[in-house]
Amino acid sequence: MPLIVQKYGGSSVADAERIINVAKRIGAVQKSGAAVVVVVSAMGDTTDELIELAHTISHEPHAREMDLLLSTGELVSSTLLTMALRELGHEAISLSGPQAGIRTDTSFGRARISRIEPARVRRELDAGRIVVVAGFQGITAEDDITTLGRGGSDTTAVAIAAALQADRCEIYTDVEGIYTADPRIVSGARKIDEVGYEEMLELASLGAKMHPRSIELGGVYRVPIYVASSFSDTPGTLIHAVGNGPADAFAAGLPTAAKPEPEHITAISPSAEFQTGNQMEDRIKVTGIAYNANVAKITVQSVPDRPGLAAALFEPLAEASISVDTIVQNTGGDKSTDISFTVSRTDLPAAVRLVEGMAQQLGAAGVVSSAGLAAVSIVGSGMQNTPGYASRMFRLLANGGVNIDMITTSEIRISCIIDESQGRDAVRLLHEGFQLDRS
Amino acid sequence: MPLIVQKYGGSSVADAERIINVAKRIGAVQKSGAAVVVVVSAMGDTTDELIELAHTISHEPHAREMDLLLSTGELVSSTLLTMALRELGHEAISLSGPQAGIRTDTSFGRARISRIEPARVRRELDAGRIVVVAGFQGITAEDDITTLGRGGSDTTAVAIAAALQADRCEIYTDVEGIYTADPRIVSGARKIDEVGYEEMLELASLGAKMHPRSIELGGVYRVPIYVASSFSDTPGTLIHAVGNGPADAFAAGLPTAAKPEPEHITAISPSAEFQTGNQMEDRIKVTGIAYNANVAKITVQSVPDRPGLAAALFEPLAEASISVDTIVQNTGGDKSTDISFTVSRTDLPAAVRLVEGMAQQLGAAGVVSSAGLAAVSIVGSGMQNTPGYASRMFRLLANGGVNIDMITTSEIRISCIIDESQGRDAVRLLHEGFQLDRS
């Protein structure tokens, strides 16, 4: 019997009517002959409302208390969904995170799953029940309740699918899958049928709906993840181990970018690796355009260059759990250097405070920061070591009058930090320029 | 260091402002040098709202799911109260029922505490923390969440106080204590300073605010229970092991009823016990008038009398968890009998259904029922074996034109079932007639 893990997000269970609809979908899957585990988020805006309530009482609510408070949101939705399933005549049981054996570390508010003890889930499945698990929560070795932070319920679902060796993990949300760009920005954005974990990771971390940690987990345990809408039966996007080579991608019917204009291609000196194996045009592939408007930049000016400089600067940020993204260091001729880096806009005030203290110790001339930035990226597993994509991207942006502030690249991604006011235009320019609107 | 267990009801923590006020009260107790465990109910109408939500989804919500759902109400209030305590600078931690070691049987919706494992609570107290426990909930041996049903949070508080051998258990609510009658009915009702467990049990089970099970538990483990308002500093009522003799009661400043009229006293043939020990007038004592408007009566007419009749009739009701109160059986001369008994009004339809089936089997002539009844009772530990109180009660009601339908007595209580339309008048008549308005 196939085993399916399904996850429904907060908007899919926002009210009684939607919960009943979701129950019908789940029932149909079980009737089709599969064993089903369902992971569910809190109803609608419950989590935000609880956070707000906590802030009416405490300026800085204690993290452990906050987690126990927030864990109630998923208990409510999971029990209600189970009642709806039973009302439809299905055998079902809800399990809290602890009951489902979700063991975590003690990092309240952003706990990481240490292991899953799926004995109870298995027992309930063996008894023929649909098992509804409260997402986003776990329990420490000391019996304290934790929440998993951003993307927590997706992570719960993928982790349970991995622990149970489920056939696949289905993430149901209010969008119909993963797109070549944000459809709210690019009207011609197309849904991607399937995508590899690594590409999805770049798309996810740069603004798409799924949190990268669940994709990472899926990649490590090779859990096929299907992302689709809970409001329709339109096919969604399958994230799975597509071969690194584009031949696989073609075989699987993946969309590919049109061949780049010759002038850009000829400007490139392809690496040796690039020439071997498959045909060049097969490798040409931009899967999607990612966009993140929540970017701020800090520059430490004219800091005397010496070993350990970057470590001294970034260690305090890491300790404060502030994620640093793009880092650029320009060393001039005069033994001093400018270091610029980006953080999320919400982290900017805290980051500036920490960096200013450190900059003074390091003898820097000053610290400047700006908040109104965005990151626009092209993502595609066929791009590695292929400078043509970078220059083509820069040309498209230049032709559109978009000024590039910082650049960063990974194996399968090229990102530009630009002014936020030009961000949406940049996404459209790139989507059109890489011909992602054509199937 | 004295150890105090405090319990705050739903109205005491109904919103952020009230939660902060309660936190201030708790903080003051700790500052006075006591160790404090706090048990808290769900905020305001949370529990009712969750029940309503469940009923929008399921006609008959599954009991296990309902309990997991309802348990969230107390998790929310306990974490918020803990945040408020921390905001005021107190070390505090919230514990769910399971974390506090509240072990129960598996009767979902009305679980009974099987034992308390207070290790975690003790550890947190030893660390100097105020421990805030989510009331009303526990966990079974199979790791399922249960709720304790009516009076659940009071029961949690008294049980924890017993397990920790606390100096006392304080129940804070929206009334200022236990009264000689319902102050909404009798304007001259006076607050009782202290009362024994048994008397309180009768007052509680007949309409006062506390659920009898917590009083019972307090009596068994000799936990002094102090009932007072969370909204004022007015002294409340202490429920504890007052000596059976009224000398103790007098020493403690207990209110006593005025000496009954001589004609009633002389009508009595006091038992031997009655004459020994203390002076007669010291024993004279009606503590309060209890009132319960939620009474319905069922009569099984002309049922052939034979051994086992009552058992056959009442066993099905017990199996359906329907509580039967007053039972009256009148055997006529003709080998057949009428059996009348009362149930709560909400249980009436189910009870009639069960009784009708059984009455037919037993060869009864018919079953009649009426819903609009009330029970009015005089309660006092000095009344045992003292018929004078009964006759005085009947006379007072008769003089007031109140017709008595059924009568039942216990060691410390005499109850009359009357028409509900005369109920409030009857309470006032008795309160005045036994001179409870005079201190």
Cα separation, B321 vs B317, whole angstroms: 6
Read off the tokens for B283: 């024993």
Query: Is A64 among the domain residues?
Result: yes
Position B231 scores a pLDDT of 87
Given a contact cutoff of 8 angstroms between Cβ atoms, the answer to whether B102 and B138 are in contact is yes
Task: Cite the beta strand spans of B128-242 per DSSP E.
Answer: 130-134, 137-139, 145-147, 168-173, 194-195, 225-229, 237-239
Contacting residues of B for A42, CB less than 8 Å apart: none
Position B382 scores a pLDDT of 63
Higher pLDDT, B152 or B323: B152
Read off the tokens for B367: 């079953």
Query: Is A397 among the domain residues?
Result: no
Query: Is B159 among the domain residues?
Result: yes
Q: Could you read off the pLDDT of B9-46 as tens digits, one per residue?
A: 999 999 999 999 999 999 999 999 999 999 999 999 99
The CA distances from residue B295 to A204, A317, B344, B417, B427, in Å, are 63, 67, 5, 8, 15
Read off the tokens for B159: 């049980």
Secondary-structure breakdown of chain B: helix, strand, coil percentages, each rounded to the nearest 5: 40, 25, 35
Of chain B residues 96-125, which have a CB less than 8 A from chain A? Answer: 96, 98-99, 120
Nearest Cα to A152, choosing from A105, A204, A109? A109
At which residue do the structure tokens 């006593």 appear? B256
Cα separation, B52 vs A66, whole angstroms: 26
Task: Cite the beta strand spans of B305-359 per DSSP E.
Answer: 324-331, 336-344
pLDDT at residue A7 greater than cutoff 90: yes
Nearest Cα to A148, choosing from A38, A84, A67? A67
What is the least distance, in Å, from the CA of A335 to any CA of chain B? 49
Task: Cite the beta strand spans of B210-320 per DSSP E.
Answer: 225-229, 237-239, 288-304
Query: Is B43 among the domain residues?
Result: yes
Higher pLDDT, A91 or B304: A91
Q: Could you read off the pLDDT of B71-99 as tens digits, one per residue?
A: 999 999 999 999 999 999 999 999 999 99
Position B212 scores a pLDDT of 79
Q: Could you read off the pLDDT of B222-278 as tens digits, one per residue?
A: 999 999 998 888 899 999 987 543 333 322 332 333 332 222 222 222 232 233 333
Cα separation, A61 vs A58, whole angstroms: 5
Contacting residues of B for A79, CB less than 8 Å apart: 54, 65-66, 68-69
Terminus-to-terminus CA distance in chain B, angstroms? 36
Query: Is A372 among the domain residues?
Result: no
Given a contact cutoff of 8 angstroms between Cβ atoms, the answer to whether B154 and B118 are in contact is no
* Residue A40 parent element (H or E): strand A35-40
Position A123 scores a pLDDT of 97
Higher pLDDT, B108 or B251: B108
User: Which residue of chain A has the CA closest to B16?
Assistant: A57
Position B269 scores a pLDDT of 27
Given a contact cutoff of 8 angstroms between Cβ atoms, the answer to whether A326 and A368 are in contact is no
Nearest Cα to A247, choosing from A272, A222, A281? A281
The CA distances from residue A45 to A174, A424, B56, B76, B306, in Å, are 14, 27, 19, 16, 64
DSSP class of residue A305?
P
Terminus-to-terminus CA distance in chain A, angstroms? 36
What's the rounded mean pLDDT across residues A152-176?
94
Position A381 scores a pLDDT of 73
Given a contact cutoff of 8 angstroms between Cβ atoms, the answer to whether B41 and B173 are in contact is no
Is residue A162 very low, low, confident or very high in pLDDT (cuts 50, 70, 90)? very high
By mean pLDDT, which of A130-134, A220-224, A320-324 is the weakest?
A: A320-324
pLDDT at residue A314 greater than cutoff 50: yes
How many helices (H) and strands (E) are present in chain B, helices listed first?
A: 15, 18
By mean pLDDT, which of A275-289, B152-166, B176-190 is the weakest?
A: A275-289
What's the rounded mean pLDDT across residues A171-189?
86
DSSP class of residue B220?
H
Position B243 scores a pLDDT of 55
Cα separation, B40 vs B130, whole angstroms: 13
Position A243 scores a pLDDT of 55
Q: What percentage of chain A exceeds 70 in pLDDT?
A: 86
Given a contact cutoff of 8 angstroms between Cβ atoms, the answer to whether A386 and A418 are in contact is no
Q: What percentage of chain B exceeds 70 in pLDDT?
A: 86
Higher pLDDT, A281 or B261: A281
DSSP three-state, residue B371: strand
Q: What percentage of chain A exceeds 90 in pLDDT?
A: 53
Contacting residues of B for A16, CB less than 8 Å apart: 53, 56-57
Q: Could you read off the pLDDT of A57-99 as tens digits, one per residue?
A: 999 999 999 999 999 999 999 999 999 999 999 999 999 999 9
Cα torsion A164, A165, A168, A173 to 10°: value is 40
* Residue A318 parent element (H or E): helix A309-319
Q: Do B83 and A62 touch (CB under 8 A)?
A: yes
pLDDT at residue A33 greater than cutoff 60: yes
DSSP three-state, residue B10: helix
Q: Does A76 touch chain B (CB under 8 A)?
A: yes
Given a contact cutoff of 8 angstroms between Cβ atoms, the answer to whether A3 and A125 are in contact is yes
Question: What's the number of domains chain B is made of?
Answer: 1
User: Which residue of chain B has the CA closest to A60?
Assistant: B87
- Angle between helix axes A46-57 and B16-31 (nearest 10 degrees) is 50
Position B439 scores a pLDDT of 64
* Residue A115 parent element (H or E): strand A113-116
Higher pLDDT, A317 or B51: B51
pLDDT at residue B102 greater than cutoff 60: yes
A216: β partners: none
Given a contact cutoff of 8 angstroms between Cβ atoms, the answer to whether A264 and A392 are in contact is yes
What is the least distance, in Å, from the CA of B213 to any CA of chain A? 28
Read off the tokens for B334: 């003709």
Q: Does B51 touch chain A (CB under 8 A)?
A: no
Task: Select the highest-mean-pLDDT range: A164-178, A283-297, B275-289.
Answer: A164-178
Position A137 scores a pLDDT of 97
From the candidates A13, A57, A93, which should be mutated to test the interface with B, based on the most B CB atoms within 10 A?
A57
Query: Rg of chain A's alpha carbons, rounded to an integer?
Result: 23
ipTM over 0.90: no
Task: Select the highest-mean-pLDDT range: A28-42, A285-299, B281-295.
Answer: A28-42
Mean pLDDT of chain A: 84
How many helices (H) and strands (E) are present in chain A, helices listed first?
A: 15, 18
Q: Do A83 and B145 touch (CB under 8 A)?
A: no
Contacting residues of A for B144, CB less than 8 Å apart: 99
pLDDT at residue B114 greater than cutoff 90: yes
Position B333 scores a pLDDT of 62
Domain limits for position A102: 3-174
User: Which residue of chain A has the CA closest to B61?
Assistant: A83
Please state whether beta strands B92-95 and A404-410 pair in parallel, antiparallel, or not at all (unpaired): unpaired
Task: Select the highest-mean-pLDDT range: B15-19, B290-294, B332-336.
Answer: B15-19
Higher pLDDT, A308 or B345: B345
- Angle between helix axes B423-433 and B387-399 (nearest 10 degrees) is 120
pLDDT at residue B388 greater than cutoff 80: no
Position A204 scores a pLDDT of 66
Position A387 scores a pLDDT of 59
Higher pLDDT, A23 or B151: A23
**What residue type is assigned to position B70 of the chain?**
L
Q: Do B69 and A80 touch (CB under 8 A)?
A: yes
What's the rounded mean pLDDT across residues A176-200?
87
Nearest to B87 among A58, A71, A99 (CB): A58
Position B206 scores a pLDDT of 53
Within 13 Å, how many C-alpha atoms sit on residue A141's CB side? 3
Position B218 scores a pLDDT of 92
Higher pLDDT, B79 or A407: B79
Position B385 scores a pLDDT of 55
Nearest Cα to A34, choosing from A231, A166, A226? A166
Contacting residues of A for B72, CB less than 8 Å apart: 72, 75-76
Cα separation, B231 vs A98, whole angstroms: 37
**What residue type is assigned to position B389 of the chain?**
Y
What's the rounded mean pLDDT across residues A167-187?
88
Q: Could you read off the pLDDT of A10-31 as tens digits, one per residue?
A: 999 999 999 999 999 999 999 9
A289: β partners: A378
> CB neighbours of A123 closer than 8 A, spacing ≥ 6?
none
Cα separation, B182 vs B106, whole angstroms: 35
Nearest to B94 among A68, A87, A96 (CB): A68
Query: Is B248 among the domain residues?
Result: no
CA B416 to chain centroid, in Å, comes to: 19
Mean pLDDT of chain B: 84
Please state whether beta strands B102-104 and B113-116 pair in parallel, antiparallel, or not at all (unpaired): antiparallel
Position A251 scores a pLDDT of 29
Q: Domain of A58: which CATH number? A: 3.40.1160.10
Position A384 scores a pLDDT of 60
Query: Is A8 among the domain residues?
Result: yes
Query: Is A278 among the domain residues?
Result: no
Q: What percentage of chain B exceeds 90 in pLDDT?
A: 53
Higher pLDDT, B62 or B285: B62
**What residue type is assigned to position B238 of the chain?**
L
Cα separation, B94 vs B92, whole angstroms: 7
Please state whether beta strands B237-239 and B324-331 pair in parallel, antiparallel, or not at all (unpaired): unpaired
Is residue B181 very low, low, confident or very high in pLDDT (cuts 50, 70, 90)? confident
Cα separation, B288 vs B200, whole angstroms: 9
Q: Is A157 exposed, middle or buried (0-12, 13-18, 19+ CB in 10 A)?
A: buried
At which residue do the structure tokens 């997991």 appear? B68
Is residue A431 very low, low, confident or very high in pLDDT (cuts 50, 70, 90)? very high
**What residue type is assigned to position B2 of the chain?**
P
Please state whether beta strands B168-173 and B225-229 pair in parallel, antiparallel, or not at all (unpaired): parallel
Cα separation, B425 vs B434, whole angstroms: 14
Is residue A310 very low, low, confident or very high in pLDDT (cuts 50, 70, 90)? confident
Q: Could you read off the pLDDT of A214-260 as tens digits, one per residue?
A: 888 999 899 999 999 988 888 999 999 875 433 333 223 323 333 32
